[in-house]
Each structure stands twice: as C-alpha cells, then as structure tokens.
Amino acid sequence: MKSSVLRPWAAVFFGAVLTSAPVLMLRFQAGPQAHSRAEKTLAVLERLKAECNPRSVTNEYVFSTTAQPTEMARGKILTELALLADEEPVLEVIRRRLDRSDTTEYAEMLQVLMLGLGDRESLRPVGVLMVLSEYPAVRICAARVLRRLHDVESGEYFTDALGDARFVRNDACGIHPGKYYPVRTIAALALHEMNLPAPLDDNLD
C-alpha cells in the first residue's frame, strides 16, 4: 500500500530534478559567460586600478605641482567604457565590483564611473566624494562628471567644493607666484552654467 502511494511522488520528484537540472547548469555557467563577454571592460578597469596605485608615477601627487596625467588618463578610461557599453555589460561589471563602504581610491573611482555611465543613483555619493574624498584625482574626476550633468541636485555639493584645499602652482615662469584650484574652478563654472549662486568666500586662500 505504502509503495503504491510513494511511486507517484517519486516520479514527480525525479521529474522536477530532471527539469531543473538544465536551469541550474545555466546558472552556474552564467558567471563565466558574463565574465568572458566583458573582457575589454575588465582590461580597462585594470588600467584604472593601475592609475589608482599610489606608487604610480602619474598618480604621485605633490601639493604644489601641476595637474597630474592620471586625471586625463581617467577621463579617457571613462570615454572608452562608454563606447564599450554597446557591446559589453559595462555597468553590470562595475556594479558587481562596487562597494560604497570601500574607501580605497579605486573603489571611489568606480563610483565616479557609475555616474559617468548613466547611473543616476550615484549622483549624491559622487557629490560627497567630490567634497570629502582624500584623493585629489577622485575629487577632480567627480567634479568633471558632475559638471557635465547640469543637475541642480548637485548644486549643494558644488557650493561645498568651492572650499577645496588642493591647488597647483601657476607661477608665470616663477615671476608672479600664484595658485590655481582645479576643483574650485570646476565647481564655480558648474554653478554658473546651472544659474545657481556661487557665494563669495573670503577664506578660499
């Protein structure tokens, strides 16, 4: 009696296993396949990681030197990733690697990339990075990406960025010592372009 009752259930169970097996196999294969579909993206992100290495010559910031080549390199990386988005899951790859609690320079740059590639949820986190990041290149890259958006929601962050401390020397051949503040300049231009007030601050220098 018991065996006659169990047989239909056993058939259903084994049928379910056989039906779900291909699905489980696809899930296990999805990771490697997604990885292989993003080879170019991963290669570009490795270049970004190298740019964020504090021992990199291009990223060796000194307070009174001119702007570093790393800032231009990071801009090119963002452009390359934007072009790759038509053929690879760029945003998906970056989102998997994203950890907003990670304060390394590479992790912060991933947040900037997310915003630059169209992830609007990254606007406020990147605004915070523009003001508070410990890495000059992150603050400058964040300011440039935010400026391009012309989103009034970023106005409060640009206002705070008017007090950014990092400057480069602008000495006119050493005759007239001067300072140039990259983030402050970008912030002031962004506020002007959005018709937002840029309060004067007597303590900028």
pLDDT digit string, tens, across residues 64-84: 345 578 898 999 999 999 999
Tell the residue number behind the tokens 């007030």, with chain if given. 197
Is the pTM higher than 0.85? The answer reads no
Angle subtended by helix axes 136-149 and 123-132, to nearest 10: 140
**Do 84 and 76 touch, CB atoms closer than 8 A?**
no
Residue 168 backbone phi and psi in degrees, to 5: -120, 155
- pLDDT at position 162: 96
DSSP per residue, 92-113: HHHHHH--TT--SHHHHHHHHH
Least confident of 26-35, 93-102, 177-186, 188-197: 26-35
Dig out the tokens for 121 from the structure.
């949820």
Provide the sign of the torsion angle of the four alpha carbons 98, 100, 106, 109, taken in this order: positive
Q: Percent of the chain at pLDDT above 70?
A: 69
List the one residue out of 132, 188, 84 whose CA is nearest residue 124.
Answer: 132
Dig out the tokens for 3 from the structure.
């065996």
pLDDT tens digits along 144-197: 999 999 999 999 999 999 999 988 776 655 566 678 889 999 999 999 999 998
**Do 109 and 53 touch, CB atoms closer than 8 A?**
no
Average pLDDT value over all residues in the chain: 80
